[in-house]
Structure 1
Amino acid sequence: MLITVLLLFLIGCSSEEIAPPTLVPLLDLPPAQQTEFAVTAESSPPLMDGERTSNVNRPASVPTPVGVGIRPSEAEQLWVPDAGPEPPEGWRPPPYDVPLSLHYDDHYWLARPLPSGSRNYDLEWYPYGNDVQLPELPAYRIHHGIDFPNQTGTPVLAAGSGTVVFAGPFPSPLDGVNYYGNTVVIQHDWQWQGLDVFTLYAHTLELFVQEGDIVQQGQLIAGVGSSGEVSGPHLHFEVRVGSNNYNDARNPALWLAPFEGWGTLAGRFVDKNSQMISSASLTLTPLDVDTAVRKQRTYYPTVRSDQVWRENFVFGDVPAGHYRLTIDANDGVHIYQREVTIFPGQTSFEIISTNFEFVPTPTPVPVETVAATPEPEN
């Protein structure tokens, strides 16, 4: 027993304390390379109490390049909601994406020059190729484009990519009057039928581009205004094919993509000699669509038709469905009717031939009268 106790005592005296393990690095890594990068304020999460900030320099904001202007979303924040006319009644679906050519002759290659949520459909009573259609309004001039009434400051967007070839006041070369007001003209970076295509944006309040700027489709280029010879704030929009010339304008309704589920009716109304009949009254009555009756007139003879369609009337932005087209050539003397179908996203085309010879009514020329010389009173 004594021997056992003695052995246990000796073993306990000879044991050593267990030392903590030595930490050995797993891998001898090279020092990390520091890479400089910009961090915007939006990408930095808020710091919690006790967290330390890094020493990375963070710029407060990225400066906007000169001449680029601001984006449409930023311009919307600058609107004055109660300025200008009341918001338009009626709802429109969003337009189709461009380019769109469901029919092989279609060239819906231009986006709407105004954002959805604004009035991005034109005035029906002042269409391309005609004077004003409201009897209570006096005659103005034959329209070479289409008009979009909107609140002052509504963003005007580039309908397609290209180069700004003009930006500023646009006085007439004939009489020097600034009819168009502040105007932007874009030459697009593509052609159609081997011809250059231009778009014109007139009566703007302010310009966010200058001549020589490269713009992208949908880029903010101006704001809706009432500069020039106008009666209220709106955008006057033209499509010019071949050259940047007033007489080379074409109907924008054949270039702007329709709204989703909507289409376009175009046609040619001719006499027995295939001569186009001008100023004929057109009525488009829906048969199975809940939409309004549309009225129009065939083109005035001085405006240009599309080189492929060779039309002399267009109903743009028509909900798809079946309609009855009524044409009155001579105040009830010659009336023609036809049922037509509008297909979504494309142009439906009709040729209506007559059995009479059309003789255009000459434009009356004012006759200068000489006032009689007053005789002296007796």
Structure 2
Amino acid sequence: MMKLTFNTLIGISVILFSVRATAQEPDTSTDSPQFFVQTFCVDCHNEQEQNGEIDLQPFSQAPAKVDTQQLLSVYDQINLGQMPPPDADQPTVAERAKMLGSLERLIQGSGVVIVDKRLHPGYGNYVDHDSLFEAHLNDPLSATTARIWRYSPESFSARVNRIVGRDVIKFVPVATFPVPQKGLKHPAFPYKGPAHTAKDYAQIHDFGLTETELLIGLAEELAEAQLSSGSLREYQSLAAGDAQWNKILDEHFQKLYSRNANEAEKQSLFDLQQKVVAVAPIERANQTMIAATYLRPESLFRFEIGDQSSVASGRAVLTPLEYAYAVGFALNRTGPTSELVQALEGYEEKDNSELKELIRPYLLTDAAHQRMMRFMDEYFEYGNAAYVFKDRHHRRYRPGWMIEDVEKFVARIIQSSRKIETF
């Protein structure tokens, strides 16, 4: 049996103590996640004071050993700006970003995929104020990534009703009394998003055969109304191939898409008209041709693809028409006026002050006020009061009054906010 001398035992003890101390020694550098937690979190989340029943003291010692679910919870709180609380010392934007980067590496190292809730429509805009409103862009070549936006049912209905010349699709903005009815009254738009969010119509579901059939039926309904008693009623029986159709289609495309129909599109529509008139009355042929104009992707979607000739770092600046549509639909549910489209031609050459003066009059219109009112109703859903309060047996049951009170309150806030600088 080997004998251990006193000096040997002392040496082994020192080595073991050093190894243990080294293993438990936290990283205290200012860039470390331990420093962030120690500085901004553990005063309220420690073994003695566990606000929200969360103890982050172990994180400040060995973050790699912390439960993944707790890491995800910490990530969400910091990412959404909910922690530290407003009355506590706040990290800088850079410190918060470094902490999130450290958490991402820890979480992904455990094989868990992080879902950035800031990308969800219900979580609002979490860009910090300075970055959002800074006077100068750090990268003058930066621009939006390619995106496709689905028009909301309200926007679609308002736009096509204006083009047709009468209300074909009825949209009820608020719940009514005595029978609650709210939303777009057409089977092609049976959409209802999650509560308390700005509706993300692009992610509700994919198009399938049923939706396509319903939209074709809607297009035929719009065309029939437009030709029988709407804006094209005088052309209902206009002969196929008549020279007037070139001008009619250009004007129709201008209303629908803010552009003229190109030659290929016109020829395709004329070919369809000729095929139908060979087997059906001219009225049916004209209706089918006009219905086809409502079935282009541009009818349901707004594109932000950008000017590909100006691509920089994988991105492209918006074309003038895309820019006009982005501004127009933000301020008017029916989209940009022809005047706005024309005014924003060559917008890239205008500075912020010029764009500000150009756009501000549109911000002060009744259409912009209505657009903001609808956003508030869609986000807070106060228009659903008739669904929530069901005391119909009570003789003073008047949910419409509550809705009206809230609308007046919101309208006063919006009206006073119009004086706020928007650029």
Superposed pair shares fold, TM > 0.5: no
With the length of structure 2 as denominator, give the TM-score of the two structures: 0.19
Please identify the structure whose Cα radius of gyration is greater: 1
Q: Which has the higher strand share?
A: 1
Q: Which has the higher helix share?
A: 2
With the length of structure 1 as denominator, give the TM-score of the two structures: 0.20
